[in-house]
Amino acid sequence: MSASPSTAGLRPTPILLLLIPALFAVWHARPLLPVDETRYTAVAWEMWRTGEFLVPHLNGETYAHKPPVLFWLMHAGWTVFGVNLWWPRVLGALALCLNAFMIKRLGKRMWPQQPQRGSIAAMLFVASLFPFLFSTALMFDLWLVPWVVLGWTALIDAHRGAPLLRTSLTFAAAVGFGILTKGPVTLLFLLPPVLAATHWSGRARSAGTPTTAAKAQSSRSKFVYATGGLGILLGAAIALAWAIPAGFAGGQEYRDAIFWGQTAGRIKDSFAHSRPFWWFLPLLPGMLFPWLWWPRTYQGWRGLSAKAQDMSRLIFWSLAPAFLFLCLMDGKQPHYLLPLFAMAAIALAWNLDEKPNFKLSPSFLPFLLPIIIGTAMAVAPLWAAQVDNVAWLNPQLLSLSGIALLVLLRPAWSVLQHEAYRPLVLGFLAPVTVIALHFGMGRSFYKEYDLKPSADFVAQWQQEDTPVGYFGAAYYGQFHFLGRLEKPLANPEKTDALRAWLEANPEGQMLVVVRRSDPPTFGPSPYPALPHGSRLLQVWECEQLLARMDELDLP
């Protein structure tokens, strides 16, 4: 089947090649960012250092907030290449490449006669702003996407009549390793299409009296139910194969956390509405840029469901219930939607390929966001002086990056006039914008957020058997991997606990986190403050800090 103007050039490979300069931009512009990236590498480092690969630990205590797969992936690279920083940083890029492959495979399974739709969907996902942006970060969600897509693929195979043993084992792998990657939230994306199998898999493609084909179509829903049921049971067994021994090894508190806190506890607390129900909606245009800014996205949907009711209904049941539940949940983060973006890319690819006759007008709208961002960066010297407490801001570098982005948009607009290249040009907009933003941050941002110098101080003190504490904020392992620390840090939460620790460790060192704008509680430290992201880090000898507390008569 020849490519139409709607689909010409829509392949993920050219966009994936942009990962190379994107990663270079990230390594140039920002280090591991606290608290998430430094925390995840700290947990992996403690598992590696202690040889305890079953139960994650953070700062000497069990860590039940995340399952172990991402940490095991870091260990896999360290086993081959040695402990290093670059391997954790490329895991996001590897996940994006894997996602492209899995989405391409899913599209081929959904429409065996139109295999190009899988390639189109892969490109649409890779070239969306949020998937590409998160490929430069160390996060769990991009590694959940391939398991969710694998589960959807197993359901389609069951619908097509594949052997039950194969489909159920595939679905079990998706459920089990999805839970080990992100937790039971995996079922939020996989369970609705299983429960709705009668609606999307058990309906005949044509109305009227039942026929042999209709009966065969109806019977397929039984295979989907069987695949889902057996897969969930076997997938739970895969997850429990880790959780049960980990629960016993980690103790009662850890056991309660992984069995209750990660399941019923999260559901119990998910309807508090600390963020409003509609919170995701205004973010979607940015998350799915540039496709939600492209008028072609909204053309051609009429009549699609009538042509392939089974696939259109599967798309609905894979998207709508999960999105609704995520809207109802208390804790909302943009990256929670990443698995849904995979199926959204499938739907858009179907539309583009099924309705090729709609004109792909060279719309100005997809260029609007990069132009706004590039202009704001270009005029940074005019507004930078009004921004307080942003020590890393380099107006000149930000301005040059913004000008470069605007200059690149001009030839892109010229190429856009050629209809066959319009989708490919649009696919480059989000990655190029991400690269320009990272180059605009520059080395000054890197230095302000790089905790390696502080971590080296802590490592040296620990090598000298000097007690070290951290006060003023919660300690989430910010220094552990960067300094390759061997011991936990004390983290007193209140001044009375701080006083007690200082009295017990007069020869120690205390790191105090202070805001850049507020006067520090204990006054200026006798040593220069260290950059600590958006804050500063004071260094105190314990005897000096205790004397300062007595002088100020702090409790």
Alpha-carbon span 139 to 146, nearest angstrom: 14
Span 504-547, pLDDT tens digits:
999 999 999 998 877 888 888 888 999 998 899 999 999 999 99
- Dihedral sign for Cα atoms in the order 83, 88, 93, 99: positive
According to DSSP, residue 536 is labeled E
Backbone phi, psi, residue 129, to 5°: -60, -50
- Type of residue numbered 72: W
- DSSP assignments along 192-252, one per residue: HHHHTHHHHTSS-SS-SS--HHHHHHHHHHHHHHHHHHHHHHHHHHHHHHHHHHHHHHH-H
Kindly state the percentage of the chain with pLDDT values over 90.
64
The structure tokens 């009295």 sit at 503
Q: How many C-beta atoms surround the C-beta of residue 520 within 10 A?
A: 15
CA-only gyration radius of the chain, Å: 26
The first and second tokens of residue 528, run together, are: 């220069």
pLDDT of 72 reads: 97
Residues in the chain: 555
Closest CA to 123 of 106, 100, 147: 100
Half-sphere exposure of 22 (CA within 13 A, CB side): 27
Span 435-466, pLDDT tens digits:
999 999 888 899 999 999 999 999 999 999 99
**C-alpha torsion angle, residues 474, 335, 281, 352 (rounded to 10):** 170
pLDDT of 553 reads: 74
The structure tokens 């690149």 sit at 408
SS3 per residue for 204-216: CCCCCCCCHHHHH
pLDDT of 209 reads: 44
Residues facing residue 514 across a β-bridge = 536
**Cβ–Cβ under 8 Å, residues 399 and 439:** no
Span 382-433, pLDDT tens digits:
998 888 778 788 899 999 999 999 999 988 888 777 766 777 788 889 999 9
pLDDT of 260 reads: 78
Alpha-carbon span 89 to 137, nearest angstrom: 7
What is this structure's pTM?
Answer: 0.90
Buried/exposed code over 180-199 (b: 16+ C-beta within 10 A; e: otherwise): bbbbbbbbbbbbbbbebbeb
Whole-number average pLDDT of the chain: 88
For residue 358, is pLDDT > 80?
no
Span 207-238, pLDDT tens digits:
444 555 455 555 688 999 999 999 999 999 99
Residues facing residue 539 across a β-bridge = 511
